[in-house]
Amino acid sequence: MIIDIVKVFLPAVGAFVLGVLMTPILTNFLYSHKMWKKRGGKIALDGNQAEVFNKLHKEKEVNTPRMGGVIIWFSSAVVIIGIWIVSKFFPGDITTKLDFLSRNQTWVPLGTLLLGSFAGLLDDYLEIKRSERTDGKNGGLPVKIRLCVVFAISLACALWFYVKLDVTGIGLPFGFGELYLGPLFVVLFLLTSLFIYASGVIDGIDGLSGGVFATVFAAYAGIAFYQQQIDLAAFCTAVVGGILAFLWFNIPPARFYMSETGTMGLTITLTVVAFMTDRLGGGYGFLVLPIIALPLVITVLSDLIQVFSKKFRGKKVFRVAPLHHHFEAIGWPSYKVTMRYWVVSVVCAITGITLALIG
Count of structural domains, the chain: 1
Return the pLDDT at 45. Answer: 47
pLDDT in tens, 130-158: 877 655 566 789 999 999 999 999 999 99
**Cα 320 from Cα 55, distance rounded (Å):** 11
Q: What are the start-end ranges of the E strands in the chain?
A: 169-172, 177-180
As a whole number of Å, the CA-based R_g of the chain is 20
Mean pLDDT, 10 residues at a time, over the chain (359 residues)? 92 98 96 83 53 59 88 98 95 93 95 98 92 66 95 98 95 88 97 97 93 98 97 98 97 92 97 96 95 97 94 90 93 95 98 92
Q: Fill in the amino acid letter for 148.
A: C
Count other C-beta atoms under 10 Å from residue 336's C-beta: 12
Written as one string, the DSSP assignment of 302-334 is HHHHHHHHHHHTSS-SSSSSSHHHHHHHTT--H
SS3 58: helix
Contact by Cβ (8 Å): 278, 88: no
Q: Fill in the amino acid letter for 8.
A: V
Stated pTM of the model: 0.94
Residues in the chain: 359
Contact by Cβ (8 Å): 208, 328: no
**Cα 283 from Cα 277, distance rounded (Å):** 6
Return the pLDDT at 243. Answer: 98
- φ, ψ for residue 170, nearest 5 deg: -125, 155
Which of 155, 146, 161, 79 shows the shortest CA–CA distance to 116?
146
Return the pLDDT at 37. Answer: 82
**Cα 336 from Cα 333, distance rounded (Å):** 5
Q: Give the domain range for residue 125.
A: 2-358
- Residues 6 or more apart from 199 whose CB is under 8 A from it? 267, 293, 296, 297, 299, 300
Return the pLDDT at 54. Answer: 57
**Cα 99 from Cα 324, distance rounded (Å):** 39
Q: How far is C-alpha 121 from the geometric centre of its chain's CA atoms?
A: 14
